[in-house]
C-alpha cells in the first residue's frame, strides 16, 4: 500500500489509550485514602444516588417519551430536588466546586449543546447540573438506579438492534431541536466515544444535521494526576472510580463558548459544520486536532502477533472506505469471502480504474480513484485487487488478523496444495502490518517441513502460534529490532540462534 506524502500522518498520541504512572508519594496517598476517605465517600455517593431514585421514578410516571408536556409545579419541585441531590453526590465524590465560564444560552435560542472532549463518565456532571437530555443507548435504561435517572432526563435513545437506528436518532434530534425550546436542550458529545483528551477526534455529524445554531461547551480536568479518564485501553470503570474517590479534590472546568450560527454552506454540509465547530473548540482548549474517528479505534488498538506496526496507511485507507460508504459500511465475513472468491478468479490479473469500479459495482468517483491509487504500486494505472481485499479485511477486523491471513491464502494459494510463495506472503504481511519491504529470507518457509518453496496456511498458523512475538522474526524497512533479541528459538538471516542468558 502507498500512503499519501502530501499530508502528515494521522497518528500522533494514541487518543484511545490512557496510562497511569504514580510517584511514591502518590502511591502512599492512595493507600492512605483507600482505608480512610474512600469508604466514606463511596457510602455517601451510593446513598445520594439511591436517594435520587424515588424522585426520578415518580417524575417519570405516566410521561411520554415522544410528546412534550407542560412542566407541572410538582415536577419542577422534583427537578430542583434532583439537581441538589446530584450536586451533593458529586461534592461527596471530591468534585467540591466547579469552575463555570461563560453563560449557557436558553433552549429557545440554542436547542443543542455540543460538548467535548468526552473522556469520562464524570462528564455526566454538566448533564445533571442542568438536567438536559442526552443521546443514550437503549440498554442504559435497564441499569439499576442510574437507568431511572437517565430516563428522567428524557434522552434520545439509540436502538442498536435496529438497522435504521442512526437515521431515526438523527430524525428525533432534529424534531426536538426544531420545537422552539419546548423540549429540554440536548447535550451531545459529537466525538461519539471517550478519549484521553490528547486532541479532538473527528466529530459525528448528528448534532449538526438540523442546521440550527449550537453552543459549544468544553470540559477540562486540570488535576495533576489524571484519574478520571476512561477510554478503550487503560484503567477500567471501577478502578477509575476508586482512584478518583481517593483524590483530595477533583477540579473540573465547564466553559460555555459563544453560540455558533451555521452559514448557508454549513447548513447544507453537516460535516463542514461539525469540523468548523471542532476547530473552534480545539482552539479554546489549546488542543490539537486529531484526524481519527470512532471507527478508527479498533485499528489503532489492534492486538495479537500480527498487530499493525504502522497504522497511518491503513487509517488513510479506512477513511476512504468510510467515504465510499457502500463498501465500508456493513462489510461482513460473507461479503469479504465473496470478494476474495472473485479476486482469486482473476489470478493476479491487474485492473484499471474502470475495471475496479465494475469489480465493486460502483461508479467511478474521485474517492474510488484515490482508493485505486493506494494500490497502484507500479504507477501504471493498474492494481492487483487481492491487495485491496486484504487491506479491506484488515481494517474491517483488525483484531482477527489470522482470519485475514486465511482469506489472503485463499486468494493467492496454489490450486493443489493451497500454499503460497515467499514473495506473496511478504506482500500480505506488508499490507496487514502497514510496513514496507518485508524480507522473510526464505528461512521459516522451510522450518520443520520439506522445502517445497511454498507455505500453507496451516503451517503458517502453527508457526505464529509457536512464536507469539512474530514481529521479532519478520524483517522490514525501519524495523526497530535489527538483531534477534528473543530469549527463545528464532530465525535470523537464515540461521537459528539462541540468546545468551
SS3 assignment for 61-100: CCCCCCCCCCCCHHHHHHHHHHHHHHHHHHHHCCCCCEEE
pTM recorded for the entire structure: 0.80
Rounded CA-CA distance 495/129 in Å is: 66
Q: What is the mean pLDDT of residues 368-393?
A: 92
CB crowding 404-434: b at 16 or more within 10 Å, else e: bbbbbbbbbbeeeeebbebebbbbbbbbbbb
Percent of the chain's residues with pLDDT above 70: 87
pLDDT of residue 44: 97
State mean pLDDT over 6-15.
57
Q: Which residues pair with 114 in a beta bridge?
A: 188, 216
DSSP 358-389: HHHT----HHHHHHHHHT-TTSSS-EEHHHHH
Which of 261, 293, 325 is where one domain is finished?
293
pLDDT (0 to 100) of residue 145: 87
CA atoms within 13 A on the CB side of 65: 12
Q: Tens digit of pLDDT for each residue in 400-421?
A: 889 999 999 999 988 777 788 8
CA of 281: how far to CAs of 77, 114, 254, 259, 432, in Å? Answer: 35, 10, 12, 12, 35
Specify the pLDDT at position 139.
81
pLDDT value, residue 215: 97
- If asked whether residues 201 and 236 sit together in one domain, one would say yes
What mean pLDDT is predicted for residues 425-450?
75
Q: Does residue 270 have a pLDDT over 70?
A: yes
Query: CB of 208 within 8 A of CB of 274?
Result: yes
Each residue of 100-149: pLDDT tens digit? 999 999 998 999 999 999 999 999 999 999 999 998 888 888 888 888 99
Examine residue 4 and state whether it is found in any structural domain, yes or no.
no
Q: Does residue 187 lie in a domain region?
A: yes
For 128, residues 6+ apart whose C-beta sits below 8 A from its C-beta are 82, 83, 86, 87, 90
In 3D space, the residue among 178, 431, 153, 177 whose CA is nearest the CA of residue 316 turns out to be 431
- 67-71, 280-284, 343-347, range with the lowest pLDDT: 67-71
User: What does the alpha-carbon distance between residue 87 and residue 89 come to, in Å, rounded to a whole number?
Assistant: 5
Q: Are 254 and 99 in contact (CB under 8 A)?
A: yes
- Residue 282 has a pLDDT of 96
Domain's final residue, options 267, 293, 319: 293
Buried b (16+ CB within 10 A) or exposed e, 367-390: bbebbbebbbeeeeebbbbbbbbb
Whole-number pLDDT of residue 312: 82
Which of left, alpha, beta for 208 (phi over 0: left; psi -120 to 50: alpha)? alpha
Closest CA to 280 of 228, 203, 337: 203
Does residue 441 sit in the same domain as residue 485? yes
53-66 residue pLDDT tens: 999 999 888 777 67
Interacting residues of 500 by C-beta distance below 8 A, sequence separation 6+? none
Structural domain span for residue 62: 24-293
Residues 178 and 209 in one domain: yes
How far apart, in Å, are the Cα atoms of 305 and each of 2, 148, 394, 439?
A: 23, 44, 14, 17
Residue 347: pLDDT over 90: no
Q: Which residue has the higher pLDDT, 228 or 456?
A: 228
Question: Is residue 203 a part of any domain in this protein?
Answer: yes
- Beta-bridge partner residues of 98: 252
Q: Residues 331, 413: one domain?
A: yes
Nearest-angstrom CA–CA distance, 241 and 262: 39
pLDDT value, residue 248:
94
Own/partner long-range contacts of 29-32 (Cβ < 8 Å, ≥24 apart): 29/246, 30/243, 30/246
The reply to whether 15 falls in a domain is no
- What integer pLDDT is reported at residue 63 of this predicted model? 76
Q: What angle do CA 48, 54, 60 make, to 5 degrees?
A: 125
Cα 78 to chain centroid distance, Å, stands at: 37
Look at residue 354 and tell me if it is in a domain: yes
Longest dimension (CA), the chain: 85
Q: Is 428 part of any domain?
A: yes
| pLDDT at site 493 | 35
The per-residue pLDDT for 76 is 87
Q: Which residues pair with 497 in a beta bridge?
A: 490
Query: Residues 323, 317: contact at Cβ < 8 Å?
Result: no
Statement to judge: residues 232 and 252 lie in one domain: yes
Residues 100 and 247 in one domain: yes
Q: Quick one: which of 130, 180, 138, 179 has its CA closest to 156?
A: 138
Identify the helix (H) or strand (E) that includes residue 172: helix 165-177
Percent of the chain whose pLDDT exceeds 90: 52
Residues 245 and 313 in one domain: no
Same domain for 287 and 342, yes or no, is no
The CATH number given to whatever domain includes residue 114 is 3.40.1130
| Number of domains forming the structure of the chain | 2
Residues 267 and 370 in one domain: no
Q: How confident is the model at residue 494 (pLDDT cuts 50, 70, 90)?
A: very low
pLDDT at 500: 37
Q: How confident is the model at residue 212 (pLDDT cuts 50, 70, 90)?
A: very high
Asked whether residue 440 carries a pLDDT value surpassing 90, the answer given is no
- Give the mean pLDDT of the chain: 85
Domain endpoint, select from 293, 327, 342: 293
Q: How confident is the model at residue 291 (pLDDT cuts 50, 70, 90)?
A: confident
Coil, helix or strand at residue 219: strand
Question: pLDDT digits over 444-468, tens only?
Answer: 555 555 566 788 898 888 888 877 7
- Whether the per-residue pLDDT at 310 is higher than 50: the answer is yes
Domain assignment of residue 131, yes or no? yes
Given this model, what pLDDT does residue 180 score?
82
pLDDT value of residue 18: 93
Radius of gyration (Cα) for the chain, nearest Å? 27
Residues written for the chain: 501
Residue 81 has pLDDT above 60, yes or no: yes
Q: Are residues 254 and 365 in the same domain?
A: no
Amino acid at each position: 500500500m502507498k500512503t499519501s506524502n502530501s499530508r502528515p500522518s494521522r497518528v500522533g498520541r494514541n487518543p484511545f489509550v490512557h496510562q497511569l504512572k504514580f510517584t511514591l508519594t502518590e502511591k502512599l496517598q492512595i493507600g492512605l485514602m483507600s482505608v480512610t476517605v474512600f469508604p466514606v465517600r463511596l457510602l455517601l455517593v451510593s446513598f445520594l444516588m439511591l436517594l435520587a431514585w424515588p424522585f426520578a421514578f415518580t417524575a417519570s410516571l405516566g410521561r411520554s417519551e415522544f410528546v412534550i408536556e407542560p412542566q407541572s409545579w410538582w415536577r419542577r419541585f422534583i427537578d430542583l430536588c434532583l439537581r441538589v441531590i446530584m450536586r451533593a453526590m458529586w461534592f461527596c465524590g471530591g468534585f467540591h466546586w466547579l469552575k463555570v465560564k461563560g453563560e449557557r444560552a436558553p433552549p429557545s435560542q440554542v436547542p443543542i449543546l455540543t460538548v467535548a472532549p468526552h473522556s469520562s463518565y464524570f462528564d455526566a456532571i454538566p448533564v445533571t447540573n442542568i438536567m438536559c437530555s442526552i443521546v443514550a443507548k437503549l440498554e442504559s435504561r435497564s441499569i439499576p438506579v442510574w437507568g431511572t435517572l437517565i430516563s428522567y432526563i428524557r434522552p434520545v435513545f439509540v436502538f442498536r438492534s435496529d438497522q435504521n437506528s442512526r437515521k431515526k436518532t438523527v430524525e428525533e434530534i432534529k424534531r426536538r431541536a426544531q420545537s422552539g425550546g419546548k423540549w429540554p436542550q440536548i447535550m451531545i458529545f459529537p466525538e461519539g466515544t471517550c478519549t484521553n483528551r490528547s486532541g479532538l477526534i473527528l466529530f459525528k455529524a448528528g448534532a449538526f444535521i438540523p442546521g440550527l445554531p449550537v453552543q459549544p461547551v468544553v470540559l477540562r480536568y486540570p488535576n495533576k494526576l489524571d484519574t478520571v479518564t476512561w477510554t478503550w485501553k487503560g484503567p477500567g470503570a471501577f478502578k477509575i472510580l476508586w482512584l478518583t474517590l481517593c483524590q483530595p479534590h477533583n477540579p473540573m472546568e465547564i466553559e460555555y463558548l459563544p453560540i455558533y450560527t451555521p452559514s448557508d454552506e454549513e447548513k447544507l454540509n453537516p460535516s463542514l459544520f461539525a469540523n468548523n465547530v471542532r476547530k473552534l473548540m480545539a482552539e479554546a482548549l489549546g488542543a490539537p486536532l486529531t484526524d481519527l474517528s470512532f471507527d478508527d479505534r479498533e485499528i489503532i488498538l489492534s492486538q495479537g502477533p500480527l498487530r499493525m506496526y504502522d497504522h497511518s496507511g491503513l487509517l488513510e485507507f479506512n477513511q476512504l472506505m468510510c467515504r465510499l460508504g457502500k463498501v465500508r459500511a456493513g462489510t461482513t465475513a460473507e461479503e469479504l469471502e465473496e470478494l476474495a472468491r472473485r479476486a482469486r478468479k482473476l489470478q493476479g490479473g491487474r485492473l484499471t480504474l474502470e475495471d475496479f469500479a465494475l469489480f465493486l459495482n460502483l461508479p467511478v468517483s474521485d474517492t474510488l480513484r484515490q482508493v485505486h491509487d493506494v494500490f497502484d504500486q507500479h504507477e501504471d494505472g493498474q492494481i492487483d485487487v487481492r491487495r485491496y481485499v486484504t487491506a479491506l479485511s484488515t481494517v474491517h477486523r483488525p483484531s482477527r488478523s489470522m482470519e485475514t491471513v486465511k482469506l489472503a491464502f485463499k486468494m493467492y494459494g496454489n490450486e493443489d496444495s493451497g500454499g503460497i510463495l515467499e514473495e506473496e506472503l511478504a506482500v500480505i504481511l506488508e499490507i496487514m502490518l502497514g510496513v514496507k519491504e518485508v524480507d522473510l529470507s526464505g528461512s521459516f518457509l522451510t522450518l520443520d517441513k520439506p522445502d517445497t518453496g511454498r507455505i500453507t496456511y496451516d503451517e503458517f498458523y502453527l508457526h505464529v502460534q509457536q512464536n507469539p512475538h512474530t514481529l521479532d522474526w519478520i524483517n522490514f524497512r525501519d524495523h526497530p529490532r535489527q538483531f534477534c533479541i528473543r530469549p527463545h528459538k528464532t530465525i535470523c538471516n537464515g540461521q537459528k540462534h539462541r540468546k545468551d542468558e
